[in-house]
Amino acid sequence: MKTRGRLPWLILPPAVSLFLFFVVPLILVFAVSFASRGTYGGIQWTGTLANYASILDPLYLQIFWRSLWMAALTTVMCLVFGFPLAYLIARAPRKWQAVLLLLIIIPFWTNFLVRTYAWMFILRTEGLLNTVLMSAGIVDQPLNLLYTDTAVIIGLVYGYLPFMVLPLFASLERLDPSVIEAAWDLYARPARVFTRVILPLAKPGVIAGCLLVFIPSVGAYVTPDLLGGAKSMMIGNLIQQQYLVVRDWPFGSALSFVLMAAVLLAVRYYLRTGGSKSFG
């Protein structure tokens, strides 16, 4: 009874913090999205929908579409690469699991910006990758990898792969090996064992990993800016440009809310369709 009486007081501090530092800023940004840009970059409270109407411009819709498909491709590639890796770690001896997980987490010890600059060194024309390929005689001239969509995808997959591996490991580590052995005893083929036994039991990890990769990928800013340049602008770069370069805060706010709505709709659709039926 005493614990129940104290529960509201325990919830109050985080609730107040969440309201002040999350809800209030969202309300302010939402209000600014209905304003207009002033002559010198200020805000004029006009209560207009022009900012949302401007998003329907084909140029901005193309950037939105590029952000969505690149985030979706990043999620799929992280799942393809991350599932075997997570399964390998989950089936490794206990004494090696901690070491392998440490190797997955080690990149987080280095600043993300520094790691992105490292990929610029690897992918540039005179970089490590082209030097190795040309020295081995595989290519005659340097490959144009930097400042392309391919470079952005590589950077995103590298940056967010651990977010896929860790929840997958958490699900696969609890998988009872006897269930898989029973499937083999029933002469199930490897593909059927994977699709009918392993994958359904790993569904919570797949859903969590896909969400943890897709949401930050669709709003990524640093990776597209450094590895993609002006040729691979994503929605995060457009929002940053509106706030800091063009100084059109109302339009940047409208872009932010449309992006948030698009992500929420995509996540809701995935949870209702892919998340509940794809592994059935």
Tell me: the pLDDT tens digits for 180-212?
Answer: 778 877 777 878 888 888 888 888 899 899 999
Nearest CA among 263, 273, 246 for reference residue 64: 263
21 has a pLDDT exceeding 50: yes
Rounded Cα distance, 200 and 177, in Å:
14
Of 20-29, 63-72, 151-160, 181-190, least confident by mean pLDDT is 181-190
Torsion of CA 55, 256, 211, 271, to 10 degrees: -60
Q: What is the CA radius of gyration of the chain?
A: 23
Residue 18, amino acid:
L
**Is pTM beyond 0.75 here?**
yes
- Tokens standing for residue 181: 């052995």
**Which ranges constitute the DSSP H helices of 92-148?**
94-105, 112-123, 128-135
Rounded Cα distance, 120 and 113, in Å:
11
Residue 61's pLDDT band (cuts 50, 70, 90): very high
- Tokens standing for residue 238: 């457009």
57 has a pLDDT exceeding 60: yes
- Which residue pairs, CB below 8 angstroms and at least 24 apart, start in 123-130? 123/151, 123/154, 123/227
